[in-house]
Amino acid sequence: MSTQKTDNIVEIKNLKMYFPITRGLLQRKVSDIKAVDDISFIIKRHETLGLVGESGCGKTTTGRCILRLYNPTAGEIFFNGKNIARLPERKIRPLRSGIGSIFQDPYGSLNPRKTAGNIVSVPMLIHHTIPKNELNDRVSETLQMVGLDPGMIDRVPHEFSGGQRQRLGIARALACRPSLIVCDEPISALDVSIQAQIINLLEELQERLGLTYLFIAHDLSIVQHISDRIAVMYLGRIVEIAGSEELYENTLHPYTKALLSAIPIPDPELDKSRHRIILKGEVPNPANPPAGCHFHPRCPEAKQKCEISRPPLIDLGNGHMVACFRTSETL
């Protein structure tokens, strides 16, 4: 096995996910919604990669492509060194046990008719990861790992609180002991008082089980806390990737600067003294994105070249990558 396969659990190369727009009785294709538009990145083993950006930028679509809930339009998705982007369902199924998922809505992502025991045991039964005579013990163990009483095994989702439901969702994701978990805004639907508990639980599980997370969110303060590295998306493209501390201390892309300037600071005096960047206009339509750099119509630092050419994602050292002509030319 090569070093690259050992160090990187996921490698995305030139991933595209376009959704066709059709019209008329014959459903003729007239255009595409470019939800993910040619992105490349890696997720290192045992790390947490935060994926952030405004709503509609393609974060969730990227996660669902990795889970193979979507069939990518183009590009490659390597999981543990194996390209899963084009695998048929019969070949992808054995690999699914290695990738778990935690969804945003703990109310809608759990079957209301199934008990907690059923919800956690079904992935084990589907993937045959444990003998049936050990199933109940494994379910109880998994519930305990996420802070739920095994005595709740016969309860249905509506008998749990919101935080408990999300813990149940985490237990389901852990059922087959995956190496990678895609967390799609796992705390955004929870009360603030519960969010910290879930974040702490995810960190404890990562340390205990050696997990790797793709943590999708729009709250940059939370992403900064939990992530080792952060990738920033805008309109289907990645515009900046860096270590968590590096991104906040040495922000390079104008869009990332605007996002960080919007994070509230607990100190009122310090909050008043900082410069808030207000972006002009709205996010363009992904069915008809701007030419060149997608961000140029709203960028306070845009120049003529940005309107024509797409800036490549360039590594500027220390793993800090940015897709911006002005930034890369001034460094």
Rounded distance between C-alpha atoms, residue 99 and residue 83, angstroms: 14
pTM: 0.91
Q: For position 272, what pLDDT does the model report?
A: 62
> What pLDDT shows up at residue 202?
96
For 219-281, the DSSP string reads: -HHHHHHH-SEEEEEETTEEEEEEEHHHHHHS--SHHHHHHHHTS--S-HHHHHHSPP----S
Residues 165-176 as b/e (b if ≥16 CB within 10 A, e otherwise) read bbbbbbbbbbbb
Can you list the pairs that 305-310 forms with residues at least 24 positions away whose Cβ atoms lie under 8 Å?
A: none
Instruction: Tell me what pLDDT residue 283 has.
Output: 85
Residue segments in the chain with a per-residue pLDDT below the cut of 70: 1-6, 266-274, 328-331
Q: Which two tokens stand for residue 321?
A: 């990558």
Give the chain's domains with CATH numbers.
3-98+178-330 (3.40.50.300)
* Of the candidates 297, 313, 235, the residue with the CA atom closest to the CA atom of residue 37: 235
Distance CA 240, CA 315 (A): 10
